[in-house]
Structure 1
Amino acid sequence: MTEQTVYFDIDKTLVDTQKLLQNCRQSLVQIGVLPENFDRAAKAYLGHLTSRTEYNPDDFIATVAFYQPEIEMTDISAAFWLAQNFAEALFPEVLTVLTQLSAHFTLGIFSQGNKDWQRKKLRKTGLAEFFSSDHLIIADYKLSPEIVTLLEENAIVIDDKSEVIQFLKTDGPTGLKPIQIDRQATSSNAQKIASLSALLPLLQL
């Protein structure tokens, strides 16, 4: 019998993206980037994006270098890509939950954004080993029909965005089970969980 697949979004589901930005900022400040220059670069770069899914870390690093020209871009890049910046941005329960789930389910990714950036996040956080290479669905717009049809019937999808959950409930494959993670929620149920740890009893683990 084929294992059931559990798909995870990346940002705000597995990785605390705000924490990741803070970690990278701190690492760059430690090599001499002025905090105000980092903030100016972030405002300028993010402000020109029509969607955060267009984010490209190499372009952001180049923007920081523009605002702090006396520091070599290679040094800025090295500080940005420090493994600890990424590992420390995981939500606390992620490694424990994925370890337990991977013994019983095939784990996949259902994410929206720059493919190279999302894959690098998985590698830098140490999460890549948990996920099947045949079940990495990363797209500029993941709710397009041709992308949604890549999800198997009866799969489980964990995502933080309510609009994604609602779309998958109405337009996803037969038997698909979308579950929203809302870390501000005060309790968990079969449709919404406050922590990934709540998946374990839901999936009878």
Structure 2
Amino acid sequence: MRPIILFDIDHTLINNRKLAPLIGRHLLMKFKILGRKIFNGDWEGFRTAFKPELYALGYLILGSAEEFSKRKGVLERGFFKPHFFRDSVFSDAVPTLKYLKDKAILGIFSQGPRSFQISKLTFSGLEKFFEKRYIFVFPPFKATRTKEVLDKLPSKKVYFVDDREDVARVLLNHKVKVFTINRDNDSPSPAGSIKVSSLEDLKKFF
């Protein structure tokens, strides 16, 4: 059985410090347009212009895979613009995932709104690297669900890749291998974890 590697999304695969401003600027520009339409009494234009954002907000709150497939085109016209997500992928992510996909089963261990986290994978183009049945997204604090995840995995060789020290500490209590990604080399890693400064460093272990 091949090993299983579960990746975090935010600050591990996708640079949220880059993604958030891209979405923020889009929304600011959109709200300026909407404000002008309201001021001019153009309510039909307001509804048309705001439709993608309404779908996006609804999807974030109530979204499902079926709803996503139906509304993908509309979502792309709102703040789910694919290039926002593609441009926010760390440069070391795709080469590393391509290499590891032949060596291991790749999955996700993330926290946050499930619909938004899955959308990050879809619109960034990273979704193709991961086995859908091993994509786990939980509300914070995800590390409390570690045993539940491990019970669903067929392999005893399980590795986690995460940027958060507090998450890594909890994972280590479950006797799994943990890589802590620290690109800025500005914080210590928990004893027992393997500190890496780039995802490319993972290639040395597989």
Residue 15 of structure 1 and its aligned partner are, at CA, apart by 0.5
State the Cα RMSD in Å. Answer: 2.7
Match of residue 5 from structure 1: 4
Q: 1-side partners of 2:142 and 2:26: how far apart?
A: 32
Match of residue 86 from structure 2: 87
Residue identity opposite 1:87 in structure 2: R
Q: How many residues align?
A: 167
Match of residue 161 from structure 2: 158
| 1:73 and 2:73 aligned | no
Residue identity opposite 1:178 in structure 2: V
Q: 2-side partners of 1:69 and 1:198: how far apart?
A: 51
CA contact (8 A) 1:24 1:79 kept: no
Structure 1 spans left out of the alignment, 5+ residues: 38-64
Q: 2-side partners of 1:32 and 1:119: how far apart?
A: 24
Match of residue 67 from structure 2: none
Distance 1:8 1:74, change over 3 A: same
TM-score (norm 2): 0.71
Match of residue 177 from structure 1: 177
Distance 1:113 1:68, change over 3 A: farther
Residue 116 of structure 1 and its aligned partner are, at CA, apart by 1.1
Distance 1:3 1:82, change over 3 A: same
CA contact (8 A) 1:86 1:121 kept: yes
Residue 93 of structure 1 and its aligned partner are, at CA, apart by 1.1
Distance 1:198 1:81, change over 3 A: same
Q: Secondary structure at the match of 1:120?
A: helix
Structure 2 spans left out of the alignment, 5+ residues: 39-45, 57-76
Residue 68 of structure 1 and its aligned partner are, at CA, apart by 8.0
User: Between the two proteins, what is the percent identity of the paired residues?
Assistant: 25
| 1:144 and 2:121 aligned | no
Which structure's relative contact order is higher, taking Cα pairs within 8 Å and 6+ residues apart?
2
Deviations 1:67-108 (A, max 9, x none): 887453225552411110110010111111101110111000
Which structure dedicates a bigger proportion of its chain to helix?
2
Q: 2-side partners of 1:10 and 1:106: how far apart?
A: 16
Q: 1-side partners of 2:52 and 2:115: how far apart?
A: 21
Residue 143 of structure 1 and its aligned partner are, at CA, apart by 1.8
Residue 135 of structure 1 and its aligned partner are, at CA, apart by 0.7
